[in-house]
Structure 1
Amino acid sequence: MTVSAPPSERTRVRRIAENADYERATLHAIIDAAYLCHIAFSDAKGAHCIPTACWREGEYLYVHGSNGGRLVKLLAQGAQACVTITHLDGLVLARSAFSHSMNYRSAMIYGVFEKVLDEADKRASMVTFMDKITPGRQAEVRAGSDKEFDATTILRIALDEAACKVRAGGPSDEPEDMALTVWAGVLPFVVQNAAPVRDEVCVAPPPGYVSAWVGAS
Structure 2
Amino acid sequence: MSAPPSERARVKRYNQIADYDPQTIHAILDAMPLCHVGYVFNGSPFVTPTLQWRDGDMIFWHGSAASRMLESAECQEVCVTVSLYDGLVMARSAYNYNINHRSVMIFGKPAKLSDEEKLVQLRNMVNKTIPGQWERLRPVKPQELKATTVLGMKITEASAKVRFGQPDDDDDADFPVWAGIIPVRYEIGRPEANPKNPLGVELPADTALFKIG
User: TM-score when scaled to structure 2?
Assistant: 0.94
Aligned-residue offset at 1:95 = 1.3
Aligned-residue offset at 1:215 = 9.2
Match of 1:70 in 2: 68
1:115 partner amino acid = K
Runs of 4+ residues deviating >2 angstroms = 212-217
2:123 partner amino acid = V
Pairing partner for 1:199 from 194, 198, 207: 194
How many matched pairs? 211
Alignment of 1:79-98 (within 5 A): 79-98=76-95
Aligned-residue offset at 1:150 = 1.5
Considering only aligned residues, what root-mean-square deviation do their CA atoms show, in Å? 1.7
1:129 partner amino acid = M
Q: What SS does the aligned partner of 1:195 have?
A: coil
Gaps of 5+ in 2: none
Pairing partner for 1:138 from 134, 137, 147: 134
1:179 partner amino acid = D
- Residue 178 (structure 2) pairs with residue 183 (structure 1): yes
1:207 partner amino acid = P
The alignment-based identity, stated in percent, is 36
Contact 1:196 1:213 in 2 (8 A): no
CA displacement 1:172-191 (0-9 Å, x = unmatched): 1142x111121111000011
Aligned-residue offset at 1:213 = 5.7
Alignment of 1:23-62 (within 5 A): 23-62=21-60
Q: What SS does the aligned partner of 1:187 have?
A: strand
Cα 1:57–1:215 change in 2 (3 A) is closer
Pairing partner for 1:128 from 124, 130, 146: 124
User: TM-score when scaled to structure 1?
Assistant: 0.92
For the residues of structure 2 that align with 1:214 and 1:105, how far apart are their CA atoms? 20
